[in-house]
């Protein structure tokens, strides 16, 4: 998947952080609840529907992916009551599944609108159906994530007819494997069901709505994809099937036209015909790929991904010279015969002929783009193919406008086949990306990180040897000498190979994080300290005493610290150090980015290790505490039973913020030492934040 960040918005937002002061509490979205029927009889089935609008540039995590990936999965808990029975699991409607590069696994999210449905069977009159939903929303611009929960009461949203006291309990619940607590697991595909027009609507018990406009979701990465598609068209021009046709086609336009204006008109007609032909192909795939269910299945299921892997392997073999993918000659000749027709139709069939005869070279590139695009919405395949056609048509049109440029073109020769072979190596490398996705989501264990990297090292090493002339395929001509461009490409290829090698032993290879399996699949990781450093780390941990929850959580970069607020306060008083509070979460993408890019800096890491008691508080952890530690929040009046809910309540009630990451510096008496800080990838700003807190702590001690 190709992604592009709104850089300008990010820069503006980061620039405004110093002016915003302390983070404000992100308000809850307003939900609406519906039922699929207004009247039911005892024994009937009915659908409970909840829906909310999501603020522009925010997204919500759905329920149809594994909790093991990392982000907070939407959690549904129905109160027990004999008046109804749950049928199956909660189903999300319109969620989008995709591979998350940060967490290294498949996630499912909503943009614009989120909707969930649950089927229930009515067993008694006056059913009492109550639901609590816990969910996480995150900003696409700042990366901050907020955990919310909302209550719903469906008891008065529909009427049970024909019920009396005598038959109120006459229907017995069916035997089912549905647990009492309906905690959603994975629903492979969410089926959109039309809502009954007579549905009764009631507003859930939240009164505050998001500000700002609400969009129906955006096509992420469309600009980057279109640029990639256009460049693919340009690359196709320098393949052996297309390049020799360039001077012949341009000469045809210039010599067959009585005036230059007519030649230009025909050249532009030729170019737009090529764009139209490829756009039509994209339209066909867009039509067959239309629908969220198909897109979700296509991007995550093992069947299409393994199929795409095989297709890429076949394309790579074709580019490497094993065989040629061609269309039937009779069909090509039939189209070519129509190119002699006058006016626009003749020009169109000339363009069609070019598309057909170049298929053996452009087919793999077009196929790769369609595979990438068909998992998107209706627009992406259409625009992607149009962009590819524009890249292919642009040189023909430009050379028709400036025919003298043709004299400067290099002559056709073996270099064209070299371009084709290099593309074959690239196709072969990217084929394993498709195999990697089901390997991770289905836990096959075929392509762990070191295996994947080793395959890439071999592929690109062989590509470098080919560029140096040390490998030769069936269609290659002899290379009497090594040209400068080939040498430069060979140097770049071998440099990339050397960059990959440390990844076998634990190097993060951040530039390739979107293409490699997650770090956790690496069997031999030298980045994890061994020997004396591990011993020192263990000794440092022993100085902290028995750290509560150390079996559940860990700190990055071998930092020592706490995961319980009261325990950290007591230790800070004992050693007379300030506390660095990290409000974080398992599903917080920007928390991981801060840890990888800011905490890892020597200046920051030194201060965290030596000057502070580090306290990490996970706001999304669902571990239930002993009953004697439960309490009712003064903020929302709800009982807080889990580690995550208590940490989130602490952040909201004490520090008036509910987004993560969020960093607070306090002393042992809970006095704030510096203005709390949110997501900021500038190391110098984080150092200033830590230094300000340390200086304030020293000043307080001196009083």
Residues 267-296 have pLDDT tens digits of 788 888 888 888 887 777 666 654 434 544
**What confidence score (pLDDT) does residue 459 get?**
96
For the entire predicted model, the pTM comes to 0.44
Closest CA to 294 of 218, 372, 374, 371: 374
Mapped onto helix, strand or coil, the DSSP state of residue 16 is: helix
Is residue 21 within 8 Å of 656, Cβ to Cβ?
no
**What confidence score (pLDDT) does residue 217 get?**
33
Q: Which burial class, exposed, middle or buried, applies to 629 when counting CB atoms under 10 A from its CB (0-12, 13-18, 19+)?
A: exposed
Cα atoms in the Cβ-side hemisphere of radius 13 Å centred on 4 = 13
394 falls in which pLDDT band (50, 70, 90)? confident
**What confidence score (pLDDT) does residue 542 get?**
54
State which H helix or E strand residue 112 sits in.
Answer: none
**What confidence score (pLDDT) does residue 266 get?**
77
123 falls in which pLDDT band (50, 70, 90)? confident
**What confidence score (pLDDT) does residue 458 get?**
96
pLDDT at 173 over 60: no
Fold of 29-203: Immunoglobulin-like (2.60.40)
Tell the residue number behind the tokens 């009585």, with chain if given. Answer: 258
Name the average pLDDT for the chain: 75
**What confidence score (pLDDT) does residue 541 get?**
53
Tell the residue number behind the tokens 């764009």, with chain if given. Answer: 275
Q: pLDDT by residue (tens digit) across 1-15?
A: 344 444 443 333 334
Look at 300 and 560; give whichever has higher pLDDT.
560
**What confidence score (pLDDT) does residue 163 get?**
56
Which region among 4-8, 199-203, 541-545, 616-620 has the lowest average model confidence (pLDDT)? 199-203
Name the DSSP letter for residue 512.
G
- So where are the chain's domains? 29-203, 220-409, 411-528, 532-702
**In whole angstroms, how large is the CA radius of gyration of the chain?**
31
| Mean pLDDT calculated for residue range 349-364 | 69
Look at 693 and 554; give whichever has higher pLDDT.
693
pLDDT at 685 over 80: yes
d(C-alpha 250, C-alpha 416), whole Å? 19
List 152's β-bridge partners, or say none: 131
Q: pLDDT by residue (tens digit) across 601-636?
A: 899 999 999 999 999 998 878 788 999 999 998 888
State which H helix or E strand residue 285 sits in.
Answer: helix 260-288
**What confidence score (pLDDT) does residue 609 get?**
92
pLDDT at 49 over 70: yes
Residue 191 to residues 31, 45, 304, 374, Cα–Cα distance (Å): 20, 17, 19, 19
Max Cα distance, the chain (Å): 98
Look at 482 and 184; give whichever has higher pLDDT.
482
**What confidence score (pLDDT) does residue 143 get?**
67
Look at 210 and 666; give whichever has higher pLDDT.
666
pLDDT at 534 over 80: no
Look at 551 and 178; give whichever has higher pLDDT.
551
pLDDT at 512 over 60: yes
Q: pLDDT by residue (tens digit) across 464-488?
A: 999 998 998 877 777 888 889 899 9
Look at 434 and 296; give whichever has higher pLDDT.
434
pLDDT at 216 over 60: no
Is residue 450 within 8 Å of 507, Cβ to Cβ?
no
CATH code reported for the domain at 532-702: 3.40.30.10
**What confidence score (pLDDT) does residue 301 get?**
62
The residues, ordered by sequence, that sit 6+ positions from 325 with a Cβ below 8 Å of its Cβ are: 314, 315, 318, 359, 360, 363, 364
d(C-alpha 105, C-alpha 437), whole Å? 8
**What confidence score (pLDDT) does residue 528 get?**
59
Is residue 579 within 8 Å of 613, Cβ to Cβ?
yes
The residues, ordered by sequence, that sit 6+ positions from 456 with a Cβ below 8 Å of its Cβ are: 429, 432, 500
Concatenated DSSP letters for 351-413? HHHHHHHTHHHHHHHHHHHHHHHHTS-SHHHHHHHHHHHHHHHHHHHHHHHSGGGGGGSPPPS
Q: What percent of the chain has pLDDT over 70?
A: 69
Name the DSSP letter for residue 624.
B
The residues, ordered by sequence, that sit 6+ positions from 237 with a Cβ below 8 Å of its Cβ are: 243, 246, 391, 392, 395
Which region among 83-97, 276-290, 370-384, 490-504 has the lowest average model confidence (pLDDT)? 370-384
List 100's β-bridge partners, or say none: 105
**What confidence score (pLDDT) does residue 531 get?**
43
State which H helix or E strand residue 514 sits in.
Answer: none
The residues, ordered by sequence, that sit 6+ positions from 550 with a Cβ below 8 Å of its Cβ are: 541, 563
User: Tokens at residue 678, please?
Assistant: 């949110």
């Amino acid at each position: 998947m190709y992604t592009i960040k709104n850089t300008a918005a990010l820069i503006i937002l980061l620039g405004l952080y110093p002016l915003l002061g302390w983070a404000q509490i992100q308000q809850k979205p307003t939900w609406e609840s519906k039922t699929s029927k207004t009247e039911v009889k005892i024994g009937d089935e009915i659908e409970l529907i909840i829906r909310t609008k999501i603020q522009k540039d925010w997204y919500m995590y759905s329920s149809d992916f594994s909790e093991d990936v990392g982000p907070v999965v939407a959690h549904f808990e129905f109160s027990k009551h004999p008046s109804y029975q749950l049928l199956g699991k909660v189903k999300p409607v319109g969620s989008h599944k995709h591979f998350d590069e940060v967490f290294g696994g498949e996630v499912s999210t909503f943009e614009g609108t989120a909707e969930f449905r649950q089927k229930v069977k009515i067993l008694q009159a006056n059913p009492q159906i109550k639901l609590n939903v816990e969910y996480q929303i995150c900003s696409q611009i700042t990366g901050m994530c907020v955990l919310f929960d909302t209550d719903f009461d469906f008891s008065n949203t529909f009427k049970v007819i024909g019920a009396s006291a005598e038959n109120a309990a006459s229907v017995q619940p069916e035997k089912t494997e549905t647990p009492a607590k309906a905690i959603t697991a994975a629903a492979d595909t969410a089926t959109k069901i039309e809502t009954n027009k007579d549905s009764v609507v009631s507003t859930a018990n939240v009164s505050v709505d998001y500000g700002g406009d609400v969009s129906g979701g955006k096509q992420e990465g469309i600009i980057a994809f279109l640029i990639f598609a256009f460049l693919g068209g340009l690359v196709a021009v320098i393949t052996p099937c297309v390049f020799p046709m360039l001077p012949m086609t341009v000469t045809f336009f210039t010599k067959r036209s009585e005036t230059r204006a007519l030649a230009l008109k025909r050249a532009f007609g030729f170019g737009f015909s090529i764009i139209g032909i490829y756009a039509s192909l994209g339209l066909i795939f867009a039509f067959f790929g239309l629908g969220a269910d198909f897109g979700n299945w296509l991007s995550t299921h093992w069947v299409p991904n393994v199929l795409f892997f095989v297709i890429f392997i076949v394309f790579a073999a074709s580019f490497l010279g094993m065989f040629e993918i061609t269309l039937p000659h009779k069909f090509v000749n039939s189209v070519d015969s129509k190119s002699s027709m006058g006016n626009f139709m003749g020009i169109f069939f000339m363009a069609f002929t070019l598309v057909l005869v170049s298929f053996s070279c452009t087919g793999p590139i077009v196929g790769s783009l369609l595979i990438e695009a068909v998992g998107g919405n209706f627009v992406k395949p259409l625009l992607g193919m149009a962009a590819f056609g524009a890249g292919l048509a642009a040189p023909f049109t430009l050379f028709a406008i400036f025919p003298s440029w043709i004299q400067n073109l290099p002559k056709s020769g073996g270099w064209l086949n070299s371009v084709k072979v290099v593309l074959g190596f690239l196709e072969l490398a990217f084929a394993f990306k498709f195999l990697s996705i089901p390997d991770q989501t289905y836990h096959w264990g075929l392509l762990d990180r070191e295996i994947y990297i080793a395959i890439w090292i071999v592929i690109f090493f062989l590509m470098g040897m080919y560029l140096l002339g040390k490998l030769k395929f069936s269609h290659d001509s002899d290379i009497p000498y090594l040209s400068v461009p080939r040498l430069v490409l060979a140097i770049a290829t071998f440099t990339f190979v050397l960059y990959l090698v440390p990844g076998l032993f634990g190097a993060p290879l951040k530039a390739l994080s979107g293409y490699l399996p997650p770090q956790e699949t690496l069997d031999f990781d030298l980045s994890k300290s061994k020997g004396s450093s591990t011993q020192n780390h263990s000794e440092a941990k022993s100085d902290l005493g028995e750290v509560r929850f150390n079996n559940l959580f860990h700190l990055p970069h071998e930092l020592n610290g706490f995961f319980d607020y009261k325990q950290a306060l007591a230790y800070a008083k004992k050693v007379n150090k300030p506390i660095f509070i990290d409000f974080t979460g398992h599903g917080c993408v920007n928390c991981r980015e801060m840890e990888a890019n800011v905490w890892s800096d020597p200046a920051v890491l030194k201060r965290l290790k030596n000057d502070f008691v580090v306290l990490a508080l996970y706001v999304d952890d669902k571990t239930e505490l002993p009953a004697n530690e439960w309490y009712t929040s003064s903020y929302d009046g709800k009982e807080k039973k889990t580690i995550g809910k208590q940490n989130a309540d602490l952040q909201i009630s004490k520090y008036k913020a509910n987004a993560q990451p969020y960093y607070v510096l306090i002393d042992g008496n809970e006095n704030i030492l510096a203005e709390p800080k949110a997501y900021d990838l500038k190391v110098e700003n984080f150092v200033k934040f830590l230094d300000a807190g340390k200086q304030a702590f020293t000043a307080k001690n001196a009083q």
